[in-house]
């Protein structure tokens, strides 16, 4: 494994939804790739924005799928929220839970008192994903936030991958309260760096690789944490959205799925404005990327990304090039 991508790192910090599983089912090749990490001496942590389940429940689900998972290997946004609230509120402060029992548990572990109604005088609201949330829950949160309470969100993922497709994520529920109140929450989980730093610290990792399917949470968060990042194509983002990524959301590596960790990563070589990866080349100019290669070949996309990102090194907004494909 000396020449494989994974040989460069001492740990993998993996996202869950869209990387390990979609809905109840494991993504093909994912479980085997995670099991293999131990054989090459690489640590494993799971970094999740899903605050609807406890880390122990997440670990149990991973084990059911056959993936290696001890409870301590799971670091959740609800844990990060608990730490954030505890740093800003006095012990025993009442916090309205707009989320799951798992989120309430983490808030309680942080020394705060979870409550479920405005009548219990909460000084803060914490909002996390729970598929059971209804209008009344969002209304209660809105009343408390509008009344001046501090507002926290575990995460702001706008969508969540399910077996049947993309479903609304916690960000859509947070957006409803934001629209009703005109306010914005403090966010505890991805894409903020502390979640990734906490996971690396648990694994005693100096050179972790963050692997995720979302540019706006996994890749942005990993980049902000100062870690190497790899985007996989098994979830939300695609080759088309990745090439268009704003600077802060660009991954260091582009993989089809987790099995790519065990292959040598092809070098992208630049020569007088031409970028070559494997047998493919790409040149960027005037908003156009001309790629010589096959659209289904990942090396062609790696070359295309390198060419476009060199042409547009600093951008705060996604910029989509016109792609021109030429066969060899």
Rounded Cα distance between 78 and 62, Å, is 18
How distant is the alpha carbon of residue 324 from its chain centre?
Answer: 30
C-beta separation of 292 from 282 below 8 A: yes
Strand, coil or helix: 197: helix
CA distance 251 to 170: 24
Is 15 a catalytic site residue?
yes
Sign of the dihedral defined by the CA atoms of residues 271, 241, 16, 96, in that order: positive
Q: What's residue 1's pLDDT? A: 55
Question: Are 225 and 193 a contacting pair, CB within 8 Å?
Answer: yes
Q: Is residue 17 annotated as a catalytic residue, yes or no?
A: yes
Three-class SS of residue 279? coil
DSSP letters spanning 44-106: EEEEE---SS-HHHHHHHHHHTT----GGGEEEHHHHHHHHHHHHS-TT-EEEEES-HHHHHH
The residue to which tokens 């942005």 are assigned: 220
Phi and psi at 134, nearest 5°, equal: -125, -175
Q: What is the DSSP letter of 237?
A: -
| Residue among 15, 157, 216, 299 flagged as catalytic | 15
What string of pLDDT tens digits covers the 328 residues of the chain? 569 999 999 999 999 989 999 878 999 999 999 999 999 999 999 999 887 888 999 999 999 999 999 999 999 999 889 988 999 999 999 999 999 999 999 999 999 999 999 999 999 999 999 999 999 999 999 999 999 999 999 999 898 878 788 899 999 999 999 999 999 999 989 998 888 988 998 899 999 999 999 999 999 999 999 999 999 999 999 999 999 999 999 999 999 999 999 999 999 999 999 999 999 999 999 999 999 999 999 999 999 999 999 999 999 999 999 999 998 6
Catalytic position from the list 10, 17, 248, 314: 17
pTM for the model stands at 0.84
């Amino acid at each position: 494994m000396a020449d494989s991508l994974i040989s460069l790192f001492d740990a993998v910090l993996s996202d869950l939804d869209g990387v390990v599983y979609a809905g109840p089912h494991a993504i093909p090749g994912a479980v085997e790739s995670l099991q293999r990490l131990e054989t090459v001496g690489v640590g494993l942590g799971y970094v999740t924005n899903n605050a609807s389940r406890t880390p122990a429940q997440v670990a149990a689900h991973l084990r059911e799928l056959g993936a290696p998972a001890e409870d301590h290997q799971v670091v959740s946004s609800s844990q990060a929220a608990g730490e954030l609230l505890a740093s800003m509120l006095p012990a025993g402060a009442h916090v309205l839970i707009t989320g799951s029992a798992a989120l309430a548990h983490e808030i309680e572990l942080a020394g705060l008192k979870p409550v479920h109604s405005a009548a219990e005088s909460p000084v803060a609201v914490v909002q996390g994903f729970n598929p059971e949330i209804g209008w009344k829950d969002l209304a209660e949160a809105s009343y408390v936030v509008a009344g001046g309470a501090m507002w926290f969100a575990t995460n702001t993922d706008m969508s969540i991958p399910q077996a049947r497709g993309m479903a609304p994520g916690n960000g859509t529920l947070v957006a409803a309260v934001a629209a009703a109140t005109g306010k914005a929450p403090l966010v505890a989980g991805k894409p903020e760096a502390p979640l990734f730093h906490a996971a690396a610290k648990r694994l005693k990792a100096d050179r972790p690789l963050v692997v995720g399917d979302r540019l706006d949470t996994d890749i942005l968060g990993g980049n902000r944490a100062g870690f190497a990042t790899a985007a996989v194509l098994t979830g939300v983002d695609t080759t088309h959205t990745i090439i268009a990524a704003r600077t802060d959301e660009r991954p260091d590596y582009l993989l089809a799925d987790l099995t790519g960790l065990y292959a040598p990563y092809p070098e992208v070589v630049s020569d007088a404005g031409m970028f070559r990866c494997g047998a493919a080349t790409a040149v960027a100019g005037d908003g156009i990327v001309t790629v010589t290669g096959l659209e289904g070949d990942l090396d062609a996309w790696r070359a295309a990304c390198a060419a476009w990102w060199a042409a547009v090194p600093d951008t705060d907004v996604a910029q989509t090039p016109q792609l021109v494909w030429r066969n060899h």
